[in-house]
């Protein structure tokens, strides 16, 4: 069933065992960092219920039902009306709910509640995947509770979340939770080099900077990430040695010029890898396995200058900004405040 998916071997065995015994939970919560395959696991289970020719309690992957179940056409990000409904794949019994901007709309959950009460059209069960379930607001969460409390016997709901603590405790208590682990860098590097035909240098760099996220590594632009790392490394050098506040604010302005919020957040992730590299060089005798090893000389100079408490404070401040990105904050003001705090 999961032969094409990387990592999480123990969970694969668990799901196969549950499938064979007919004990797949009707309400399941898949948790773990973004891009490690949680949604793909849920989709594989959904395809099993839809498959016309299952093989040893697994979807065949080749029949028309399996192929149709994998094909989704997602709406434009600014099409609010389309986000108010369950988005179905080409198979009428496999659907998903996705956020509109920063939140999952209550209308989409109400539509899911309606659809979840229908019997399957073609498959043995209807399956619904709530992507980024940690973006359920209070209204959407409360609307979901009834469906989770009394699921139809032929309905399965999979919640996908990176931050399960953002979910209402009543939602977590009604779901069986499965924790997914990040992928090993060597596994990601092999995939990028062997199947994605990335250069060995790019594959190695992306496998480390992706932090265990295969989705993040596959979709990443290695050249852009390298340029962004140098740009942010220069910022830390300025904060440490020059304290040129005009340049620091100009850096915040450039950070805010990125195309979208996802790229803005990616810049913050890159900044955290640089800070972590400095911390590794400072605390490990061998220097550890740093991500940005092409800047090792400059990182070592910073490691000799910046103390551990300052590095920990920097990480905490970047963490806080990343958490607050789910709200509609002014990114320019937030970046200004972050860098000035780091310089302070």
pLDDT of 145 reads 93
Higher-confidence position of 136 and 289: 136
pLDDT confidence tier of residue 325, bands split at 50, 70 and 90: confident
Is residue 209 one of the residues assigned to a domain?
Answer: no
For residue 300, count CB atoms less than 10 angstroms from its CB and return exposed for 0-12, middle for 13-18, buried for 19 or more.
Answer: middle
- Does 302 lie in the same domain as 158? no
- Does 145 lie in the same domain as 28? yes
pLDDT of 258 reads 59
pLDDT of 1 reads 63
Q: What tens digit of pLDDT does each residue of 54-92 get?
A: 888 788 889 999 999 999 999 998 899 999 999 999 999
Domain that holds residue 85: 9-179
pLDDT of 260 reads 55
Of the listed ranges 109-113, 132-136, 213-217, the one predicted with least confidence: 213-217
pLDDT mean across residues, the chain: 89
Name the DSSP letter for residue 182: P
| CATH number for the domain harbouring residue 238 | 1.20.272.10
pLDDT of 114 reads 95
- Judged against a pLDDT cut of 80, whether residue 97 lies above it is answered with yes
pLDDT confidence tier of residue 286, bands split at 50, 70 and 90: low
- Does 22 lie in the same domain as 142? yes
Is residue 186 one of the residues assigned to a domain?
Answer: no
- Does 171 lie in the same domain as 44? yes
- Judged against a pLDDT cut of 70, whether residue 261 lies above it is answered with no
pLDDT of 288 reads 59
pLDDT of 159 reads 97
Domain count, the chain: 2
Which residue blocks in the chain are alpha helix, DSSP H?
A: 9-21, 38-50, 64-70, 106-116, 138-149, 169-173, 185-194, 200-209, 214-219, 222-237, 245-256, 261-283, 296-305, 308-324, 331-343
pLDDT confidence tier of residue 285, bands split at 50, 70 and 90: low
Q: What tens digit of pLDDT does each residue of 180-202 get?
A: 998 888 888 888 888 778 888 88
Q: What tens digit of pLDDT does each residue of 208-260 get?
A: 888 888 888 888 888 888 899 999 999 999 999 988 888 888 887 877 765 55
Domain boundary among 179, 201, 231: 179
- Judged against a pLDDT cut of 80, whether residue 111 lies above it is answered with yes
Enumerate residues 6+ apart whose C-beta is below 8 A from 50.
Answer: 59, 65, 66, 68, 69, 91, 93, 94, 122, 123, 124, 127
pLDDT confidence tier of residue 343, bands split at 50, 70 and 90: confident
What is the maximum alpha-carbon separation in the chain? 67
- Judged against a pLDDT cut of 60, whether residue 99 lies above it is answered with yes
- Does 102 lie in the same domain as 229? no
- Does 166 lie in the same domain as 305? no
| CATH number for the domain harbouring residue 46 | 3.40.50.300
- Does 162 lie in the same domain as 269? no
Is residue 23 one of the residues assigned to a domain?
Answer: yes
- Does 169 lie in the same domain as 66? yes
**Beta bridge mates, 104:** 136
- Does 87 lie in the same domain as 154? yes
d(CA 232, CA 136): 33
């Amino acid at each position: 069933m999961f032969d094409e998916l990387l990592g999480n071997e123990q969970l694969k065995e668990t799901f196969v065992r549950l499938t064979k015994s007919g004990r797949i939970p009707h309400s399941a919560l898949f948790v773990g960092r973004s891009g490690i395959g949680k949604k793909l696991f849920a989709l594989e289970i959904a395809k099993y219920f839809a498959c016309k020719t299952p093989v040893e309690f697994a979807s065949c992957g080749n029949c028309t039902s399996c192929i149709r179940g994998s094909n989704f056409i997602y709406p434009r990000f600014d099409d609010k009306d389309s986000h108010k409904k369950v988005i179905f794949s080409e198979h009428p019994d496999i659907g998903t709910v996705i956020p509109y901007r920063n939140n999952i709309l209550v209308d989409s959950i109400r539509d899911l509640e309606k659809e979840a009460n229908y019997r399957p059209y073609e498959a043995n069960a209807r399956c619904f995947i709530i992507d980024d379930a940690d973006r359920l607001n209070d209204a959407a969460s409360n609307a979901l509770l009834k469906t989770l409390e009394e699921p139809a016997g032929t309905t399965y709901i999979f919640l996908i979340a990176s931050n399960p603590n953002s979910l209402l405790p009543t939602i977590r208590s009604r779901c069986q939770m499965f924790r997914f682990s990040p992928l090993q860098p060597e596994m990601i590097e092999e995939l990028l080099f062997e199947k994605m035909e990335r250069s060995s240098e790019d594959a190695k760099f992306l496998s480390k900077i992706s932090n265990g996220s295969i989705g993040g590594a596959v979709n990443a632009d290695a050249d852009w990430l390298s340029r962004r790392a140098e740009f942010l490394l220069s910022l830390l050098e300025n904060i440490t040695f020059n304290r040129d506040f005009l340049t620091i604010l100009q850096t915040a302005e450039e950070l805010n010029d990125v195309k979208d919020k996802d790229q803005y957040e990616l810049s913050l992730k890159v900044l955290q890898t640089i800070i972590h590299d400095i911390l590794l060089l400072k605390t490990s005798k061998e220097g550890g396995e740093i991500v940005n090893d092409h800047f090792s000389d400059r990182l070592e100079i910073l490691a000799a200058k910046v103390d551990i408490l300052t590095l920990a404070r920097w990480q905490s401040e970047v963490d806080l900004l990343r958490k607050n990105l789910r709200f509609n904050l002014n990114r320019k003001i937030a970046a200004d405040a972050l860098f000035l705090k780091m310089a302070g």
